[in-house]
Amino acid sequence: MTETPQQRYEISSDPSRLDASRIHNWLSTDAYWALGRTREHQDLAIAGSLNFGAYDLASGEQAAYARVVTDHATFAWLCDVYVDRAARGHGLGGRIVTAARDHLARTGVRRLVLATEDAHGVYEKVGFKPLDSPAKWMSLTFD
């Protein structure tokens, strides 16, 4: 019988448990949106964000990560969601996103946004949907 993510992994927002080196390696080498991100920038991102980790109960090793940029009152942006390749295919991505969503809902945040190139199905399962009026949103990118 295969263990479910609920049986094998614990989700925590305790920043002292994060494996910053592992997170940087995942994102800078295997995440299309963060390829080449420096360790310095990743550490700054972690320090300025609400972070979630999923940890293997047997080994304590971090198996997934999600980061939220938020004012803790009205708005949040979910980003840097990553599940270790060895832990994929068992719902862990959905579980860590659900934990972040539920945590934010308890704080009063009413708008949680994200951008994804290829994981729409994962996010739809936990309640995300396309923006009603995407033309209202704007962005500024610094080169």
Instruction: Report angle CA 107, 109, 111 to the nearest 5 degrees.
Output: 160
CATH code, domain carrying 34: 3.40.630.30
Q: Residue 115 has what pLDDT?
A: 93
Q: Residue 5 has what pLDDT?
A: 58
Cα gap 69→33, rounded to integer Å: 16
- Does any domain span residue 43? yes
Dihedrals phi, psi of 109, to nearest 5 degrees: -60, 135
- Does any domain span residue 141? no
> For residue 132, what are the domain limits?
5-136
Cα gap 56→19, rounded to integer Å: 13
At 61-80, the pLDDT tens digits run: 999 999 999 999 999 999 99
- Does any domain span residue 17? yes
At 93-121, the pLDDT tens digits run: 999 999 999 999 999 999 999 999 988 98
Is the per-residue pLDDT at 4 higher than 80?
A: no
Cα gap 141→143, rounded to integer Å: 6
- Does any domain span residue 127? yes
- Does any domain span residue 90? yes
End-to-end CA distance of the chain: 50
Split into its structural domains, the chain has a count of: 1
**pTM assigned to the model:** 0.92
- Does any domain span residue 79? yes
